[in-house]
Amino acid sequence: MHNIFFNLPSSPAFVIDTDQVLANLNRINTMRQASGCKVLYAMKALPLAALLRVLKPHVDGIAVSSLFEARLAKQVLGEEVSLHLTTPGLRADEFAELAQLCSHISFNSLEQQRRLQALAEGYSPGLRINPKRSYLHDDRYNPCRQYSKLGIDTAELQNAWPESVQGLHLHTLFAAHYFQPLIETVHSLLPLLKQHGKLKWLNLGGGYLYNSITDQTELLALLDILHNDYAEQVFIEPGKAFVGNAGYLISTVLDSFISDGKTVLILDTSVNHHPEVFEYQTRPYLFPTEPETGEVAILAGSTCLAGDIFGEYRFKQLPKIGERIMFCDVGAYSLIKANRFNGYNLPDIYQLKNGQTTLLKQYDYADYERQWLV
């Protein structure tokens, strides 16, 4: 695989490895089959049509966050695909179209539900609830933070449960490597659920790396309890678990120099092709993995921002100008957030399938012009 990327005809490039996506699906499907739960793909992680088509036969629908996502999912996957929507940003002027496109809509607040639910028919109405059980240390992506805008406080719902609502939705975590938070959170909700009849559906959201958590025993037990007593259907809607480890960012070294004694390599990509690197100051993994010993270089992007830096990385031998640098595990929340800051083009998009790469999309000056020639 290393060689394929090394010989990719263009750079910078984003590669989606659809064989890896299918491997991820296998894990998720084991749980789906063992538990009878339904699986949706949260397309905001990577709304690439080619990916949606690969996933289509293996998922029960798509989780969307907006009108554009809903339209694209329908356009690519056809009328029969079922769409589940939740967003704090529901608009009255879009609601009729959304209700036509989406089979399930979870209102984010009681106020939103009161104002919008009756504006349309033909969908299953639900509520996004917020159990306010926090397992994340960084409030920037913690839905259960204090004063959260995401979902109805379950305490508030106690005496205000609208009878017309058919389902509940919760999504409380990001990139969890174990199921304990979900199990504890759902158990904390059971007293509330007991007060009402069996729900039509309960959506447990995303936020878990279902593809890499091997021990599913406790989760399966939980899903069993839910199916037996609390909900006719249980959904999960992971995003990153489908695509996170299936995406690569390929770049080329453009320049190499020493600054205050450290080697700096300038790449033909930047944090603008993976903004979470800058937003959360994360350091993406190099592919292939870094050696234990060797020389160190700072990998930096090509924009004017001083902090446009991927991090310090170790190499057996320092890469030279013209050589490829590759990051892995960047399939989710990267390309969708990418931008053309400084006028640098977006990466070319390739699909990797059966060991072969195919170019899916190449942006050019005309795309930049279309956005900015106003």
Ligand X SMILES: *Cc1c(COP(=O)(O)O)cnc(C)c1O
Binding ligand X (rule: CB under 6 A), the pick from 21, 31, 62, 63 is 63
User: Could you tell me which residues come within 8 angstroms of residue 306 by beta carbon, excluding any fewer than 6 positions away?
Assistant: none
**Minimal distance, residue 29 CB to ligand X, in Å:** 16
Is residue 205 involved in binding ligand X (CB under 6 A)? yes
- Nearer to ligand X by C-beta: 126 or 301? 126
Residue type at 244 in one-letter notation: G
**Minimal distance, residue 7 CB to ligand X, in Å:** 31
Question: Tokens 């010989």 belong to which residue?
Answer: 7
Binding ligand X (rule: CB under 6 A), the pick from 104, 171, 273, 324 is 171
Contact letters for ligand X, residues 72-91 (x by CB under 6 A): --------------x-----
Q: Which of residues 223-242 bind ligand X (CB under 6 A)?
A: 237-241
- Nearer to ligand X by C-beta: 240 or 273? 240
Is residue 206 involved in binding ligand X (CB under 6 A)? yes
- Nearer to ligand X by C-beta: 45 or 266? 45
Binding residues for ligand X, total number by CB under 6 A: 17
**Minimal distance, residue 239 CB to ligand X, in Å:** 3
**Minimal distance, residue 65 CB to ligand X, in Å:** 7
User: Could you tell me which residues come within 8 angstroms of residue 247 by beta carbon, excluding any fewer than 6 positions away?
Assistant: 14, 15, 16, 17, 46, 328, 329, 330, 331, 332, 334, 335
- Nearer to ligand X by C-beta: 240 or 324? 240
- Nearer to ligand X by C-beta: 86 or 185? 86
* Burial (CB count <10 Å: 0-12, 13-18, 19+), residue 281: exposed
Per the CB < 8 A criterion, the answer to whether 102 and 154 are in contact is no
Question: Tokens 């259907």 belong to which residue?
Answer: 233
Question: Tokens 């989606």 belong to which residue?
Answer: 16
**Alpha carbon 6 to chain centroid, angstroms:** 27
**Minimal distance, residue 39 CB to ligand X, in Å:** 11
Q: What CA–CA distance (Å, rounded) separates 192 from 362?
A: 51
Q: What CA–CA distance (Å, rounded) separates 175 from 238?
A: 10
Is residue 174 involved in binding ligand X (CB under 6 A)? yes
Nearest to 326 by CA among 292, 350, 354: 350
| ∠ Cα 115 119 123 (to 5°) | 110
* Only segment of 74-82, 170-178, 297-305, 309-317 that touches ligand X (CB under 6 A): 170-178
- Nearer to ligand X by C-beta: 64 or 299? 64
Is residue 62 involved in binding ligand X (CB under 6 A)? no
Binding ligand X (rule: CB under 6 A), the pick from 181, 207, 301, 319 is 207
Is residue 181 involved in binding ligand X (CB under 6 A)? no
Q: Which of residues 284-343 bind ligand X (CB under 6 A)?
A: 332
Q: What CA–CA distance (Å, rounded) separates 129 from 243?
A: 26
**Minimal distance, residue 143 CB to ligand X, in Å:** 7
Q: What CA–CA distance (Å, rounded) separates 307 from 301?
A: 9
Per the CB < 8 A criterion, the answer to whether 210 and 27 are in contact is yes
**Minimal distance, residue 336 CB to ligand X, in Å:** 11
Binding ligand X (rule: CB under 6 A), the pick from 16, 25, 42, 46 is 42
Is residue 274 involved in binding ligand X (CB under 6 A)? no
Dihedral pair phi/psi, residue 260, rounded to 5°: 50, 40
Cis peptide before 288 (omega within 30 of 0): yes
Output the CA torsion sign for 74, 77, 82, 88. Answer: negative
* Only segment of 37-45, 297-305, 308-316, 363-371 that touches ligand X (CB under 6 A): 37-45
The site for ligand X (CB under 6 A) is made up of: 42, 44-45, 63, 86, 171, 174-175, 205-207, 237-241, 332
